[in-house]
A and B are shown apart, each in its own frame.
Chain A
Amino acid sequence: MTALAEFKGVSFAYRESAKGRPPFSLRELSFALAPGEVLGLIGPNAAGKTTVIRLLSRVLHPSGGVILIDGESVESLGRVAVARRIAVVPQDVPQGFPYTVEQLVLMGRFPHAPARFFESREDLRIARDAMALTGVEALAVEPLDRLSGGERQRVVLARALAQQPRLLVLDEPTAHLDLRYQAECVALLRRLNRDQGLGILLVSHDLNLAAEVSDRLLLLAGGAAVKLGTPDDVLQESLLETVYGCRVVVDKHPATRRPTVSVLWPDGR
């Protein structure tokens, strides 16, 4: 079966970097995401998680190796075709111009007909369905700058769903959400994954969230893959302590039996 997304020996280096530090690079990264799979991408700061998102969404271009979507190279697919297959949910949207929720969600329809001046009725229907899925349909005419951080994040998720992608890339999806919406967000992702076969690449610092929703985890450090496997395989105390440089305790979630990770604070208490 063709992988939904595949990195084959992908290398990348940023041209400039902060003074005195070697430029960050990604070294020969290889992994594959099967159709309908939830892959969690974890690792410490500067591990290369954001770079993977940017390469996959064709914002950056690899210096070596090849990135495939449905067996086709991202470079040969072109920007618009990539945007029809992959939707990225950023942590937040820039403020500035007061677009309404509906206008923002409709922007997700751009790659499906970039030459069209106005969106069609079909586009509007798809956008409204996406808004209903993330529970923001009541906010349709609200300007974005009047929303709370959590509401905005659900709007951005709706925009990504309006893209009707095959792969959803989530960058810290629960960062601005309170407990209730975190739970709803996880339930929604599971439902989309199960009912529509939507592939998900989840990038998060929240190891417990990643362990809870992911089929497999990819642990990155310093631009290279450290381990790829099931949450139980990857979330090992010794491995995490080496990679993150702090003491941790791995336990089981009392209800789901998925692994959980807690930090053992340096003062030992």
Chain B
Amino acid sequence: MTGGARLAWVCGGLLTLLVAVAFGSLLVGAAPVAPGAVLDLLTGRGPAGGTERTVVLSIRLPRIAAAMLAGGALAVAGAGFQALTRNPLAEPSILGVSGGAAFGVVLAQVSGMGQGVVEALGLTAFGFTGAAAAGAAVYLIASSAAGFPVHTLLLAGVIVGIFFSAAITVLISIVDANRLGGVIHWLLGSIGPIAPSQLLVFTLATAAGVWLVLGQARALNLLALGEEGALELGVDALRVKRRIFVGAALLTGTVVAFVGPIGFIGLIVPQIFRMLLGPDNRVLVPAALLGGGAFLLAADTLARTVVAPAELSVGVLTSFCGAPFFIWLLRSRVARVTP
């Protein structure tokens, strides 16, 4: 089977899964809606007004879109960071990049960013800047002549993460708490109501980030040969690394801006697909995008139904799955590749 045919099969399968999860997610919640009614509403045949219409189209649908975008973006960012650092444990939250983005977003909220699209763009820009700053700091701390030793990179990420979380605490302490409504919930990573303007910016920024990573996917594979090996095969390694870094930081910053720093998606999803499909980034990145969307959407649906009418932060759920997964990876896979 050629690469293109394989990619088409994988994407077709995962797209079906994503649509199925999304449809299931539309049905369940504090106010159950029958499948027939949901189909009617989606195809425009439902009643013009009513609670069901509001619940399905104005509350659940935007939230489902946000969950899919966030999950896909984080998974692609994770795949990008892993290939970039040649470290299977790299991931936005472990690398401290999410922490940097969260600091940027809190800073933007404190200084006030206006309304609508302007606010959404401002939050994204601050999130991206924070993510890039944290990523650059981790890079400078961890890089050595021999590349990125696995454990040094993780430690550098943890330290940068701690620094930014302390900085966020300082900001929250000195600012009037009312201006940062819901910040604690957001810091845990939770998908809430999202305005159409925000959803628009979220979609465009995610598309840009995915394009940056996916466009370099073939060259990114060659980076696995080491920087020198990639250069010898004609890969402009610096340009590839820069694009992946900017793309992954943009994805992380955008997700943090709209749904908070949700952890471990960028670790779990690329790892699972690498086990199932192999390390080829040309298949792995699209699979992570669709599979990450389905995974986080399923987690968010669980988060809003499992303790209904209250809600869990979805970040809590992903951490419950992610932490044991991380430990298992650290014990089994990394032990084999590092001395």
Contacts and interface: CB of A to CB of B under 8 A. Distances in A.
B228 A54 contact: yes
B234 A114 contact: yes
A84 B234 CA distance: 8
Contact of B222 (A57, A90, A110): A110
A97 B232 contact: no
Contacts of B235: 79, 110, 114
B224 A97 contact: yes
Interface string B137-173: 0000000000000000000000000000000000000
Nearest to B283: A118
Interface stretch (A99-107, A172-180, A228-236, A260-268): A99-107
Contacts of B86: 94, 96-97
Contacts of A108: 233
Contacts of B278: 98-100, 103
Contacts of A226: none
A41 interface: no
Contacts, number: 91
Contacts of A93: 225-226, 229
Interface in A79-125: 79-84, 86-88, 90, 93-100, 103, 107-108, 110-111, 114, 116-119, 121, 124
A94 B224 contact: yes
B3 A95 contact: no
A80 B2 CA distance: 24
B337 interface: yes
A163 interface: yes
A79 B219 CA distance: 13
A103 B88 CA distance: 19
Contacts of B87: 96
A154 interface: no
B311 interface: no
Nearest to B150: A96
A100 B280 CA distance: 10
Nearest to A144: B224
B336 interface: yes
A145 interface: yes
A99 B232 contact: no
* Most central of B7, B88, B280 by chain A CB within 10 Å: B280
Contacts of A83: 232-234
A103 B234 contact: no
A88 B228 CA distance: 10
A155 B155 CA distance: 35
B233 A163 contact: yes
A96 B150 CA distance: 11
Interface bracket on A = 35 or more
A110 B234 contact: yes
Interface string B222-242: 101110110111111000000
Contact of B228 (A59, A117, A118): A59
A58 interface: yes
**Chain B interface extent, by class:** 20 to 34
B4 interface: yes
B227 to A, nearest CB: 9
Contacts of A80: 234
Contact of A97 (B234, B274, B282): B274
Interface string B198-236: 000000000000000000011101101110110111111
B185 to A, nearest CB: 37
A107 B279 contact: no
Contacts of A86: 232
Nearest to B336: A145
Highest count of chain A CB atoms <10 Å: which of B224, B231, B232, B234: B232
A122 to B, nearest CB: 12
Most chain A C-beta atoms within 10 Å of own C-beta, residue among B2, B217, B224, B336: B224
B229 A103 contact: no
Nearest to A111: B234
Contacts of B7: 118
Nearest to B86: A96
A99 B3 contact: no
Interface of A: 54, 57-59, 79-84, 86-88, 90, 93-100, 103, 107-108, 110-111, 114, 116-119, 121, 124, 145, 163
15 contacts: A58-B231, A80-B234, A83-B234, A90-B228, A96-B224, A97-B88, A97-B279, A99-B221, A99-B279, A103-B278, A107-B233, A110-B234, A111-B234, A118-B2, A121-B2
Given A81-B234, A97-B279, A111-B233, 18 more contacts: A59-B228, A79-B235, A87-B232, A93-B225, A94-B229, A97-B224, A99-B221, A100-B278, A103-B221, A107-B225, A110-B218, A110-B233, A111-B234, A114-B219, A114-B235, A118-B282, A145-B336, A145-B337
Interface of B: 2-4, 7, 83, 86-88, 217-219, 221-222, 224-226, 228-229, 231-236, 274, 278-280, 282, 336-337
